[in-house]
Homo-oligomer: A and B are copies of this chain.
Amino acid sequence: MTGWRTIGVIGGMGPAATADFVQRIAVAAGAARDSDHPRVLVDSNPHVPDRNAARAGNGPSPGPVLAEMARGLTGLGAQILAMPCNAAHGWAGDIVAASGATFVDMIDAAVTEAVATGARTIGIIAIGATLDANLYQHRLDAAGMQVIASDRGIVQPLVTAIKAGDTSSAIRTGMAAEASRLVSAGAGAIIAACTEVPLVLSQADVAVPLVDATSALVRAVMQAAAL
């Protein structure tokens, strides 16, 4: 490897999850000094229209704002684009259409790692906008996997609390309980399919393989960015 392409991050959904993603890229670079890292351009824009509302038909599409962010990052030099928000991938087509940069798809990255676990039934911890768009369902169906979805009435309040900065043990326990419920229901692996989830849930909390979509995206991005 001789260096890195410039990485653009379409972020802010939410800001803490984006900061977590950027921090993980810095670790994943495995660099001994500043100049061995990739250049990373980030647009942490918390004003992207709400994904749940848009999916439910109660608000504007995030697509045009995401496309504008992609154009801005590409204009500054981004060659590889990534978006650390699962639900927003329902509008990934707008990003791909708007920018000539390579878009590394988080759902594809996580599904690839879920298939590699060898499990046949996958539990998905996600918010409504991700589930309603069938982002994971369609790709896991195509791979011949069974899907068990999390309960949005349980997961949404937890994600809302994490977005408000609450990563207390009560929130951690609640998220771990939902993962356990999916395992009891037959899941042989779990996908943390919302970027707020790994802020409170780790492999130690789950009895089966935990595929962290954020980590999967970091790995896929570093592979795509390596020269």
Report which A residues bind B (CB closer than 8 A).
12-16, 18-20, 22-23, 25-27, 29-48, 50, 72, 75-76, 160, 163-165
Contacts and interface: CB of A to CB of B under 8 A. Distances in A.
A1 B10 CA distance: 26
Contacts of A165: 27, 30-31
Contacts of A37: 12, 14-15, 44, 46
29 contacts: A14-B34, A14-B37, A15-B26, A15-B37, A15-B40, A16-B26, A19-B19, A19-B22, A19-B23, A22-B22, A30-B165, A31-B46, A31-B163, A31-B164, A32-B163, A34-B46, A34-B163, A35-B46, A37-B44, A37-B46, A39-B46, A40-B42, A40-B44, A41-B42, A41-B43, A42-B44, A72-B76, A75-B76, A76-B76
A39 B23 contact: no
Contacts of A19: 19, 22-23, 25-26
Nearest to A77: B72
Contacts of A31: 15, 46, 163-165
Nearest to A49: B35
4 A-B pairs closest in CB distance: A19-B23, A42-B42, A37-B46, A15-B26
A46 B36 contact: yes
Contacts of A163: 31-34
Given A39-B44, A43-B76, A44-B40, A23 B20 contact: yes
A81 to B, nearest CB: 15
A48 B38 CA distance: 12
Nearest to A85: B34
Contacts of A16: 23, 26-27
Contacts of A30: 165
B39 A47 contact: yes
A33 B76 contact: no
A59 B146 CA distance: 58
A42 B15 CA distance: 12
A39 B47 CA distance: 8
A169 to B, nearest CB: 18
Among A29, A30, A38, A41, residue most surrounded by chain B Cβ atoms (within 10 Å): A41
